[in-house]
Amino acid sequence: MSNQRNTLQRKIVLDTLRKLGNHPTIEELYAEIQKNYPAISKTTIYRNLRVLAQNGQVRQVSLPDGLERYEGQLNPHYHFQCTACNGIFDVEIPGIADIENYVAHRYGYDVDGHDVVFHGICDKCI
């Protein structure tokens, strides 16, 4: 029964993250989940996010603000952070995988991934 509960809670965390479609912190995800599932604790969300990230179902996003953020979009992409509203947006650029391959072949490294964050003002804040 305990494993089934964890699976249900994990599904709730994953579904909520994907529904939000942004890059929420654990606090933001917790606030959203609390609206429909007030019995789920922040610790449960944190634990399930870690499992989902280890299983490759979600991705932890590294941004300069230092807060742990997560996303459900797993395809390679970059991020743009607005310096006015602090919004975080996905940036699709063709050839991302080629960049990793280039670095691996050019320098002989085993590349696991990379993060790039562009900074500026988003179209809503201009």
What is the spatial distance between Cα 54 and Cα 60, in angstroms, rounded to a whole number?
10
Residue 47 within a domain: yes
Instruction: Kindly state whether residues 9 and 38 are assigned to the same domain.
Output: yes
Instruction: Kindly state whether residues 16 and 54 are assigned to the same domain.
Output: yes
Q: Quick check: pTM over 0.75? A: yes
Three-state SS for 46? helix
What is the spatial distance between Cα 9 and Cα 2, in angstroms, rounded to a whole number?
11
The reported pLDDT for the residue numbered 96 is 81
Please enumerate in sequence order all residues whose Cβ is within 8 A of that of 37, keeping only pairs 6 or more positions apart, or say none: 12
Q: Which of 34, 53, 71 is the last residue of a domain?
A: 71
Residue 125 within a domain: no
Phi-psi region of 44 (alpha: psi -120 to 50; beta: other; left: phi over 0): alpha
The reported pLDDT for the residue numbered 36 is 95
Residue 66 within a domain: yes
Strand order in the sheet with 117-120: 88-91, 78-82, 117-120
Short-list 31, 50, 52, CA closest to 41 = 31
Residues of the chain short of pLDDT 70, as ranges, are 1-6
Number of folded domains that form the chain: 2
- State which residues form the domain around 92: 78-120
Instruction: Kindly state whether residues 62 and 91 are assigned to the same domain.
Output: no
Instruction: Kindly state whether residues 84 and 62 are assigned to the same domain.
Output: no
The reported pLDDT for the residue numbered 1 is 42
Instruction: Kindly state whether residues 62 and 87 are assigned to the same domain.
Output: no
Residue 126 within a domain: no
Instruction: Kindly state whether residues 54 and 113 are assigned to the same domain.
Output: no
Instruction: Kindly state whether residues 66 and 10 are assigned to the same domain.
Output: yes
pLDDT tens figures, 53-65: 999 999 988 787 7
